[in-house]
C-alpha cells in the first residue's frame, strides 16, 4: 500500500502481516488494544519534503459489559499489547506506546469475573442472620506489554520513543451501611517493555515505563441492635519494567534513556460504632506486593 497522505488504522486488534505500507512523508498511526507487526512487514513514512511520524498506540478500545445488579461491585480488566517481530519500521519519529490512564469503567472485558464476585457477595449475605451487610468492592487489573523482537528493525531520522504508562485510581466506600460495612480494593498493574531488536535514531532513543496507582478504602457502618462491624482491605500489586536484552542493538545521535518507575498511594480506614454496644469490630488492612 502506497499513499502520500496521513493514514490511520484502528480497531480492537490490528495485525500487519507482511507487505509494505508507504506514506511518502505522511503520518501513519495504528491504534488498537492489541497491535501486531511481523512476517517481513515494512512500515515506511520517510520521503517527501519531511519524514512523517510512525505511531503504534495501544489503548483500551471498549469491551462493554454491564455491572452486577447489586451496584457495589466495580470490576475492570484492561489488557494492551504491542508486538513487533520480523518487521522494518522507517520514519521521522517512531512512537510506540501503551497507555491505560484511568479508563472508563464501562470498558470491561466479558471475562473480568463480575459474575463470580457478585455470587460470592450474595453467598456471604446469606450467612448473616438478622444483620445487613453493605459493601463496596473494586477489582482492577491492568496489563500492558510492549515486545520488540530480535528480528525487528527500527530506523528514525528523529527520535524513537517507547513508552508504557498505567495510571489507575480505585476508591471504595459503601453509600449506605448498617450493621456490617465492608470495603475491599484489589489493584494489580503490569507495565513491561522488552527490547531485543535493532534501534537506530538520529536523535534520542527513550524507553520508559511508568505505573501510578491510588487506592482508598473506607468502611463506616452504623450500628444495628448493638452490633457494628467494619473491614477495609486493600491489596496492591504493581510491576514496572523496561528491559533491554543482550541481543538488542541501540544507536543514537544523542541520548539513550531507559527508565522504569512506580508511584503508589493508598489510604485505608475502618470505623464502627453502636449505641449500647454488644459487639463492635474494626479491621483496616493494607497489603502490598511489588
pLDDT band at 115 (very low <50, low <70, confident <90, very high): very low
Transcribe 138-150 into DSSP letters.
EEEEEEEEEEE-T
Give per-residue pLDDT as tens, 21-34.
Answer: 999 999 999 999 99
Residues 6+ apart with CB under 8 A from 135: 72, 121, 174, 177, 181, 182, 183, 184
Nearest-5° angle of CA 112, CA 118, CA 122?
165
Mean residue pLDDT across the chain:
77
| Length of the chain, in residues | 290
On the question of pLDDT at 241 being above 80, the answer is: yes
Grid coordinates representing 202 are: 538520529
Lowest mean pLDDT among 11-20, 50-59, 60-69: 60-69
Q: What end-to-end distance do the CA atoms of the chain give, in Å?
A: 45
* Residues 67 and 45 sit within 8 Å (Cβ to Cβ): no
Asked whether residue 52 is domain-assigned, the answer is yes
- Segment 194-198 shows an average pLDDT of 98
pLDDT above 70 covers what percent of the chain?
64
Lowest mean pLDDT among 11-20, 82-91, 175-184, 256-265: 175-184
Asked whether residue 275 is domain-assigned, the answer is yes
Instruction: Identify the pLDDT of residue 150.
Output: 96
Asked whether residue 2 is domain-assigned, the answer is no
DSSP bridge partners of 7: 28
Give per-residue pLDDT as tens, 57-69.
Answer: 999 876 433 334 3
Instruction: Identify the pLDDT of residue 34.
Output: 95
Instruction: Identify the pLDDT of residue 116.
Output: 35
Asked whether residue 58 is domain-assigned, the answer is yes
More confident position, 141 or 111: 141
- Backbone phi and psi for residue 10, each to the nearest 5 degrees, phi listed first: -145, 155
Q: What residue numbers bound the domain in which 112 lies?
A: 7-289
Instruction: Identify the pLDDT of residue 136.
Output: 62
pLDDT band at 289 (very low <50, low <70, confident <90, very high): low
Give per-residue pLDDT as tens, 79-89.
Answer: 999 999 999 99
The model carries a pTM of 0.77
H or E segment and range at residue 119: helix 114-126
pLDDT band at 182 (very low <50, low <70, confident <90, very high): low
- Our count of domains for the chain comes to 1
Instruction: Identify the pLDDT of residue 143.
Output: 92
Asked whether residue 1 is domain-assigned, the answer is no
More confident position, 128 or 17: 17
Amino acid at each position: 500500500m502506497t499513499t502520500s497522505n496521513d493514514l490511520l488504522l484502528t480497531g480492537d486488534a490490528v495485525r500487519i502481516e507482511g507487505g509494505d505500507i508507504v506514506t511518502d512523508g505522511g503520518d501513519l498511526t495504528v491504534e488498537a488494544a492489541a497491535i501486531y507487526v511481523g512476517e517481513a512487514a515494512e512500515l515506511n513514512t520517510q520521503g517527501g519534503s519531511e519524514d512523517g511520524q510512525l505511531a503504534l498506540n495501544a489503548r483500551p478500545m471498549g469491551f462493554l459489559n454491564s455491572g452486577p445488579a447489586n451496584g457495589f461491585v466495580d470490576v475492570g480488566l484492561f489488557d494492551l499489547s504491542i508486538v513487533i517481530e520480523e518487521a522494518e519500521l522507517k520514519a521521522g519519529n517512531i512512537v510506540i506506546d501503551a497507555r491505560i490512564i484511568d479508563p472508563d469503567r464501562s470498558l470491561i472485558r466479558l471475562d473480568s469475573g463480575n459474575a463470580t464476585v457478585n455470587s460470592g457477595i450474595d453467598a456471604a449475605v446469606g450467612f448473616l442472620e438478622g444483620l445487613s451487610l453493605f459493601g463496596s468492592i473494586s477489582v482492577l487489573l491492568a496489563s500492558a506489554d510492549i515486545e520488540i523482537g530480535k528480528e525487528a528493525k527500527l530506523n528514525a531520522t528523529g527520535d524513537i520513543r517507547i513508552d508504557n504508562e498505567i495510571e489507575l485510581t480505585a476508591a471504595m466506600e459503601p453509600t449506605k451501611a448498617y450493621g456490617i460495612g465492608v470495603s475491599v480494593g484489589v489493584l494489580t498493574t503490569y507495565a513491561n517493555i522488552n527490547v531485543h531488536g535493532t534501534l537506530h535514531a538520529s536523535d534520542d532513543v527513550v524507553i520508559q515505563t511508568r505505573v501510578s496507582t491510588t487506592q482508598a478504602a473506607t468502611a463506616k457502618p452504623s450500628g444495628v441492635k448493638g452490633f457494628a462491624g467494619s473491614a477495609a482491605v486493600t491489596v496492591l500489586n504493581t510491576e514496572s519494567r523496561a528491559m533491554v536484552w543482550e541481543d538488542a542493538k541501540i544507536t543514537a545521535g544523542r541520548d539513550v534513556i531507559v527508565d522504569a518507575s512506580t508511584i503508589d498511594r493508598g489510604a485505608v480506614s475502618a470505623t464502627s460504632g453502636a449505641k449500647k454496644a454488644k459487639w463492635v469490630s474494626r479491621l483496616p488492612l493494607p497489603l502490598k506486593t511489588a
